[in-house]
Amino acid sequence: MQVLGEYREQMVLIGGWVPFFLFGPEHVGSTDVDIALDREEITDDVYRTIRQHLEKRGYTQGEQPFVFTKEVKIDDGDPITVQVDFLAGEYGGVGKEHRHQPLQEDLKARKARGCELALEHHTQVTVEGMMPGGAVNRVQVNLSEVVPFIVMKGMALYGRMNEKDAWDIHFCLKNFEGGIDALAKQFEPVIQNKLVQEGLRKIRAKFVSVDSLGPTSVADFDEITDKEARDRIKRDAYERVTALLDALKVSEFKE
């Protein structure tokens, strides 16, 4: 985020780092950095320079035009590949059938369902950490609030096979201060939003029972093999999700 810091007002950090910064280091974090771009606010000149800034710092644009990667070595460990993904909302720009939103001729953002919510509902946090060169740095970042994060995770959970989607949802429900009732109140102002309804209903579809894909994915991501422990974590995930969705009167998504 330091590389693109001058544009932070037009960007929101979404994806796997959101729970880490909202709830603390108990979250596993991610090697991917997902950034939502506000295509209505960023000028053509900014689009033109984003790629230049990234390439100057050693990032390489991949085959997918919205992905940039860089190998980073931390301390004496093996190098890790940091991946920066640019995402944009589905509304505006190109039609829904296209996969990318055009930003500038040589930079595109992948369309992510629900991304608009993060651009509307985010908070600013201060992030401190060690940069690849060893310097300790502190930057301010626009961070998705928990509601858009959960909604987008619901979209992802329904549309792909990635155990961490369900795990992230469970982590948020387990760690939100004040518990399920307090989290439900966060949803109330936007509960009639069609994207919010869709994301939550898709979560319901994957958590319809203790043995559904959602609870099972939570246990799988934690690599729990003991049957009693698996049953316990699956039950906890199912009951927390069910309690939230019941409080919000959300039904199961149907195609």
Same domain, 11 and 97: yes
Sign of the dihedral through C-alpha 10, 172, 140, 55: negative
Domain end point (choices 117, 144, 171):
144
Region 222-251: mean pLDDT is 98
What pLDDT was estimated at residue 178?
97
Using the 3D structure, point to which of 114, 144, 174 is the last residue of a domain. Answer: 144
CA-CA distances (angstroms) from residue 58 to 3, 37, 131, 178, 255? Answer: 11, 21, 14, 43, 43
Q: Are residues 125 and 179 in the same domain?
A: no
Domain span at residue 150 reads 146-247
The answer to whether residues 75 and 153 belong to one domain is no
Are residues 133 and 153 located together in one domain of the fold? no
Residues 138, 160 share a domain: no
Provide CB contacts within 8 A for 79, sequence distance 6+: 71, 72, 73
Residue 32 confidence class, pLDDT cut points 50, 70, 90: confident
Residue 112 DSSP one-character state: -
Indicate if 19 and 140 belong to the same structural domain: yes
With respect to residue 122, please indicate whether it lies within any of the assigned structural domains.
Answer: yes
Does residue 133 share a domain with residue 29? yes
253 domain-assigned: no
Calculate what percentage of the chain has a pLDDT beyond 70.
85
DSSP string, 58-107: T-EE-SSTTEEEEEE--TTS--EEEEEEEEE-SSSSS-TTSSEEEEETTE
Domain count along the chain: 2
| Residue 242 confidence (pLDDT) above 60 | yes
In this prediction, residue 91 carries a pLDDT of 64
DSSP state of 31: S
- What mean pLDDT is reported for the chain? 87
Express each pLDDT in 13-25 by its tens digit. 999 899 999 998 7
Domain final residue, candidates 144, 167, 182: 144
Summarised one tens digit per residue, pLDDT across range 168-221 is 999 999 999 999 999 999 999 999 999 999 999 999 999 999 999 999 999 999
**Quick one: pLDDT at residue 93?**
44
Supply 105's token pair: 């001729």
Residues 66 and 176 in one domain: no
Question: Using 50, 70 and 90 to split pLDDT, how confident is the model at 120?
Answer: very high
